[in-house]
Structure 1
Amino acid sequence: MNNKIQLNDLIPVNPDEYQKYRLHFAKPVFDKETGNRYFPLQVLHNQLFEADNDDWDQWQTHMHNSKGERFPSDFVITFAQYPDNSDTFLFGGVFKIIDRDKTNDKYNIEWQSEYEKYVGRLVVKVKLETRSVYRKLDNLFPKVVIKEILPSPFYTGEKFPGYKKLDLTYNKLSEIDHGYLHDWKQVLQNIEGVYLITDEKNSKLYVGSATGVKGIWGRWISYYNSLTGGNKGLEELNEESKKKFDENYIKQNFHFSILEAYALGSIGREKIIERESMWKNRLRSRETGYNKN
């Protein structure tokens, strides 16, 4: 018995009408002008949770690329790739192409409301044999298998454990950053305090503090993006790791936890810096860890 549920079971398309549809499997995009990399999952997440944000819609509206028209069809079924799993995608909606604005090289599109309840919730799995992100349905559509349906958009069902039990790896930071754990980010953006980074390989510690806009999350995301957050001791470790051809050392071995947490602005930056210094002394992170001040 074949227990797999195919995408066609939820979005039924008759093979005789395959030519009216195109699939868009959006993947990360690198902008050469800005040097930034944009992740489709994050773009979809932001549109769903931020007022007046239509960036995901805009990813569907450009008519042409170097190979010609992207969607020579009436409808587009869209997906956002999971950044750490190339075969897994989150459903981004079905769009109808209302008209083609040739002057601005742009599609005018309209969401198909009957499928909106699955947006940000329907997770599918499909192995793409080619690099193209714009695909005909043909033989591919029946191979798109439903992996799971999330209880609500971007919610995996994994509850925030409380800051005292928090122990995050780089992979977990990635999950939070790309919208898998929307409520976790909300909590971390609204607390400030003293945090701890533990090198699981050698047990060395780094104590830091976070205040101001976006709280502890704002500080941790700087480590996620740059590995070192601009800290001298961590920069030295990173350079040493590169010389040993182990560029992923920090990603593989660092864990993030919280020593003290307070509501944003509740006790003041001076008090938090004082508590940070106390923890550095108590844990001897200057003498035996990565703190340099």
Structure 2
Amino acid sequence: MTIYLQDVLPVENPRDYKVHFARHNGADHPLDVWSRCRDEWRGWQEFWPGKNDFNRPHILALAQYYPEPDTWMFGGIFDVIERHPNRYEVEQVDLGRALEGRLKLHYVHRDRVTRARLENHFPGFVVKEVLPEPYSGRPFPGYSRIDLPFPELESLVRNGRLDWRAALENVKGVYLISDRSTGSLYVGSACGDQGIWSRWSTYAMTGHGHNVGLRELVGDDVGLEYCRAHFRIALLEEHPARTPDQIILERESFYKQILMSRGPAGLNRN
């Protein structure tokens, strides 16, 4: 039996709402934004695109659930409190709050319009799944399948996602950071008493992890913004915590050599 959004969310008059189909904006996926910072997600509803698209009292916010096609995550309902010359002022309401970040909807919407009249779409939203907990990142895929855009790494670290943390905090390894705008590569390692989770948490907080080459590239002023737009991080090798550090460092050096990350176009400085 098909369950529709209108069966579980009692919206009295859809004509009082705009639906926000939030998609990737060139730097961030809205799903990652919602996961890492609710204030930042509210800012997506307050953004003024140059015309008064949110010209109704309420907004039903959806974030594109990019791991699955034609899927949207319910991101809450907001009241438009005030319309300023360059932004909206919104406030989230209690309606549907228990489903925020948990309710996944199936709906085919490939139109370029991202702020649409709710009544034209509301009857077609099909409940696909209700997650047991609010979304905090994709499930751990296995060591050999880790290739994360930087915003997703941020979300996983900020939410302390347990399956990722359990898998990565007690292993050593070698990883690759790639700058998709330039093609530059950085090879790093986690050894000593510092597991991969701890090392990657430093990147999530700083953007550069205090590495000289990365710091030269992103600086301290716009670091996270640049990283969110361009960086990916992948795991090249993982090793048990008891593995001697010398083996990890030798493997790191091997990858630096074959990937030429010490060269003019690379980001390693040693």
Using structure 1 for the length normalisation, give the TM-score.
0.59
Report 1 or 2 for greater relative contact order, CA contacts < 8 Å, sequence distance ≥ 6: 2
Matches of 2:202 and 2:83, distance apart in 1: 44
Separation of aligned partners in 1, 2:119 and 2:175: 52
Q: Is 2:68 the counterpart of 1:56?
A: no
Distance in 2 between residues matched to 1:261 and 1:42, nearest whole Å: 30
Alpha carbons 2:35, 2:137 under 8 Å: kept: no
Contact 2:63-2:73 at 8 Å conserved across structures: yes
Does the residue aligned with 1:275 lie in a helix, a strand or coil? Answer: helix
CA-CA distance at 1:155 after TM superposition: 5.4
C-alpha change, 1:24 and 1:93, in structure 2 (3 Å) is same
Distance 2:175 2:61 in 1: 40
Q: Deviations over 1:115-146 (max 9, x none)?
A: 22111111111101411111112331111111
Letter in 1 for 2:80: I
Count, aligned residues: 216
Conserved in 2, the CA contact under 8 Å of 1:95 and 1:111?
yes
Given candidates 15, 19, 35, the residue that maps to 1:45 is 35
1:244 maps to none
1:9 aligned residue: 7
Does residue 123 of structure 2 align to residue 142 of structure 1?
Answer: yes
TM-superposition CA deviations, 1:79-105 (whole Å, max 9, x none): 111234451111111001122233xx2
Structure 2 equivalent of residue 116 of structure 1: 97
Indicate the residue corresponding to 2:172 in structure 1: 193
Equivalent position to 2:79, from 84, 88, 96: 96
Structure 2 gaps of 5+ residues are 177-186, 205-212, 214-232, 263-270
Contact 1:194/1:259 (<8 A) preserved: yes
CA shift in 2, pair 1:152/1:72, >3 Å: same
Q: Give the 3 Å change call, closer, same or farther, for CA 130–194 of structure 1 in structure 2.
A: closer
Amino acid paired to 2:240: E
- What displacement does 1:191 show? 5.3
1:76 CA drift (Å): 0.3
1:21 counterpart residue number: 17
Query: Would the aligned equivalents of 1:195 and 1:260 in 2 still touch at CA under 8 Å?
Result: no
Q: Which has the larger radius of gyration?
A: 1
Does the 8 Å contact 1:192/1:215 carry over to 2? no
Runs of 4+, deviation exceeding 6 Å: none
Structure 2 residue aligned with 1:177, among 140, 153, 160? 153
- Displacement of 1:177 in angstroms is 3.4
CA distance in 2, matches of 1:214, 1:65: 38
Q: TM-score, normalised by structure 2?
A: 0.64
* Equivalent position amino acid for 2:11 in 1: V
> Residue 248 of structure 1 aligns with which residue?
none
Structure 1 CA distance for aligned equivalents of residues 146 and 165 of structure 2: 18
Q: Counterpart in 1 of 2:224?
A: none
CA drift of 1:150 comes to: 0.6
From 62, 65, 83, the equivalent of 2:49 is: 65
